[in-house]
Amino acid sequence: MNIRFTTAGESHGKALTAILEGIPSGLGLSKKDVDVDLRRRMMGYGRGARMKIESDEVEFLGGVRAGQTLGSPISMLIRNRDWENWSEIMDAESRSDDDGDRRRKLGRPRPGHADLVGVLKYNRSDARDILERASARETASRVACGAVCRKLLVDFGVTVGSHVVEIGPVKAPLLELPDDLNSVADRSEVRCIDEDAGRAMIEAIDRAREARDTLGGIVEVVVKGLPVGLGSHVSWHQKLDGRLAHAMMSIPAVKGVELGLGFEASRRPGSKVHDELFLDDQGIPFRKTNNAGGTEGGMTTGGPLVIRVGMKPISTLMKPLASFDLDTGETARAQAERSDTTAVPALGVISEAMAAIVVANALSEQFGGGSMTDLKENVNSYMGRVESRWKR
Ligand code: EPS
């Protein structure tokens, strides 16, 4: 992997950090490029009180100078404002009053959360040691890394957008997507491009909140402007569709990923699935459909990547489900913690970030180069070779 990242930090710790490696030198990059996506991730109807406390922004700690990347690892910091309220609970040092449990111990695991399996695996008595890292707060770091990759992709004419297609029982109708998907989706509080469906989603979220329940949903990510042939058919780990699925499934609460027709393709005969090939009047091949969702043989076709990502409802319920007390072994209701009713609108922004990272990595693996100048030259030379094939 050329472009890779790692993140650290707990939800109520001092800060989140991310180190992004493999970005070539000479990419124009400013804090604003990252903050824009951090803010987009925080928006969305159905979020809890935490998003009113935070005001995410990035601080570059390394890898950027005078508005340009240096080719060295990019180190980024996002402070948790809520830390002020949690500094004793999350203190890294041992404290004189640490004989008993720290305040806000989570002792009754929430079904669906990492709580129970985490305390067993990591041998902890307080599930807070697990949930603080399992929290989707971590995705702010991913979005920061994705924003840098998005900036790189823009230089190659590649755009990454998303919209919400389902929340709970509400399904948006299939519409033709606007050219600038995000500028339309971001105008909606639920990031849905259909106004009626968006209103129905808001009502469904209100009903779930009143019932002290939570809702999941589905987002669609669209990546446009890709060169043909990113990824490879030759080995399982080089297949771009596989890499995208892995990246999306790694997002907290995601339970399903589909490319193009996805599961629907399995129900149709081949004649109703495969994208037929036509030649235009200059002999250049094209497809009228994109049922494949932008990959064939694990490689980009040059058409848009269309990825659907499904999220389960958040597992912290204000009307808690059956559980037990880790200390006493008695049955009890799971612990209720402040949380969101839904985070599906944010899932779109996070999925964009993961898609941007996967695609930027595939581009860099294929075309290499330590600098943006070399990367561009290599891409141009490849595209020239591909296009010359149709000059008969
Ligand atoms: C989360 C619980 C809530 C969410 C949080 C994810 O936080 P808190 O426990 O502080 O109320 O708001 O999401 C974020 C903080 C974020 O930045 O997205 C959880 O348990 O996963």
pLDDT value of position 391 = 77
DSSP assignment of 21-83, as one string? E-PPBT-B--HHHHHHHHHHHH--TT--THHHH----EEEEESEETTEE-SSPEEEEEE-TTH
Give the CA count within 13 Å in the CB-facing half-sphere of 283: 6
Torsion angle of the four alpha carbons 322, 326, 328, 330, in this order, in degrees rounded to the nearest 10: 10
pLDDT value of position 359 = 98
Probe residue for ligand 1, chosen from 89, 106, 130, 135 as the CB with the greatest number of ligand atoms within 8 Å: 135
- Full pLDDT tens readout for the chain, 392 residues: 799 999 999 999 999 999 999 999 999 999 999 999 999 999 999 999 999 999 999 999 999 999 999 999 999 999 999 999 999 999 999 999 888 899 999 999 999 999 999 999 999 999 999 999 999 999 999 999 999 999 999 999 999 999 999 999 999 999 999 999 999 999 999 999 999 999 999 999 999 999 999 999 999 999 999 999 999 999 999 999 999 999 999 999 999 999 999 999 999 999 999 999 999 999 999 999 999 999 999 999 999 999 999 999 999 999 999 999 999 999 999 999 889 999 999 999 999 999 999 999 999 999 998 999 999 999 999 999 999 998 76
Report pTM: 0.98
Q: Among 328, 333, 301, which residue's Cα sits nearest to residue 317? A: 333
| Residue 361, ligand 1, Cβ within 6 A | no
d(CA 33, CA 58): 10
**3.60.150.10, 3.30.460.40, 3.40.350.10, 3.40.50.300: which CATH number matches 4-87+105-136+143-388?**
3.60.150.10
| Nearest residue (CA) to ligand 1, atom 21 | 135
- Point out the ligand 1 atom lying closest to the alpha carbon of residue 338: 11
d(CA 213, CA 192): 21
Amino acid identity for residue 170 in this structure: V
| Residue 142, ligand 1, Cβ within 6 A | no
135 C-alpha to center of ligand 1: Å? 6
| Residue 136, ligand 1, Cβ within 6 A | yes
93 C-alpha to center of ligand 1: Å? 24
132 C-alpha to center of ligand 1: Å? 9
Edge-to-edge, what's the strand order for the sheet holding 74-79? Answer: 4-8, 15-21, 74-79, 58-62
Probe residue for ligand 1, chosen from 7, 10, 11 as the CB with the greatest number of ligand atoms within 8 Å: 11
Return the SS3 of 184: helix
Question: Where do the H-state alpha helices sit in the chain?
Answer: 31-42, 50-53, 83-86, 115-122, 128-134, 139-154, 181-185, 195-210, 240-249, 263-267, 344-367, 372-388
d(CA 391, CA 372): 29
Q: How many CB atoms lie within 10 A of CB 272?
A: 11
Q: Among 341, 354, 360, which residue's Cα sits nearest to residue 249? A: 354
Helices 240-249/344-367 angle, 10° precision: 140
| Residue 140, ligand 1, Cβ within 6 A | yes
What Å distances lie between residue 352 and 7, 37, 91, 159, 360, CA to CA? 17, 10, 33, 10, 12
Burial class (CB in 10 A: 0-12, 13-18, 19+), 308: buried
| Nearest residue (CA) to ligand 1, atom 16 | 137
- Point out the ligand 1 atom lying closest to the alpha carbon of residue 51: 12
147 C-alpha to center of ligand 1: Å? 21
- Point out the ligand 1 atom lying closest to the alpha carbon of residue 54: 17
Largest CA distance in the chain: 80
| Residue 50, ligand 1, Cβ within 6 A | yes
Probe residue for ligand 1, chosen from 115, 339, 351 as the CB with the greatest number of ligand atoms within 8 Å: 339
Sign for the CA dihedral angle at 90, 94, 96, 98 comes to: positive
| Residue 295, ligand 1, Cβ within 6 A | no
328 C-alpha to center of ligand 1: Å? 28
> Could you tell me if 189 and 42 are in contact, meaning their C-beta atoms sit under 8 angstroms apart?
no
